[in-house]
Amino acid sequence: AKSIAATPVATVASAAFDTPYELPGEWRTQNDKPIMLASLRGKVRVVTMGFTRCKFACPRIFHDMQKVETALGADADKVGFTFLSIDPQHDTPAVMVAKMAELKMSGERWTFLSAPDDTVQQLAVALNFKFQLVEGFFAHSNLIAVLDEDGNVIHREESLGADIEPTVNSVRQLLKP
């Protein structure tokens, strides 16, 4: 598996947006609180997109993100881990809370977000994340991305079960004073 360098998203999404944090649209947290992606500014983030009912890629992506969290040790407290659902019809706040509990994810570090389809699609374009509904489930890209404090994509991992060290190193570089 090979990590790939981030590509500028402005040309993919829209000239009006330099980072995903500038996208319009309201999201809801696992605690059913409304937020804009702009409110994620100020903290290095490790993000992914997927859906909680996924039985194939998403469990592995969650596992890989938790490995990154563990590898960061005490530095993990300085990082936000964010799951952005592509399945707003099913990923309700209650479902997202249940998934976090099942995976033993700390609400201090982890945020699960859901939004209407059009808002999800805008973010998917901005992150170059592809997905399609197929027979009631989603076929989708595999993505773990590292965003700096302003939402710039600094690192992308698109292989399941890849070596987490490049992801961990990119987070640590951003955390350096």
Tell me the pLDDT tens digit for each residue of 61-80: 999 999 999 999 999 999 99
Higher pLDDT, 155 or 2: 155
Query: What percent of the chain has a predicted confidence (pLDDT) above 70?
Result: 91
pTM of the model as a whole: 0.88
Q: Let me know: does 27 contact 119? Beta carbons within 8 Å.
A: yes
The CA-atom distances, in angstroms, between 25 and each of 14, 118, 123, 171 are: 15, 8, 10, 27
**For residues 39-68, average pLDDT:** 96
Report d(CA 169, CA 166) in Å as an integer: 5
Tell me the pLDDT tens digit for each residue of 93-133: 999 999 999 999 999 999 999 999 999 999 999 999 999 98
pLDDT of 28 over the 90 cut = yes
The predicted pLDDT at position 18 comes to 87
Tell me the pLDDT tens digit for each residue of 77-102: 999 999 999 999 999 999 999 999 99
| 165 Cα distance to chain centroid | 18
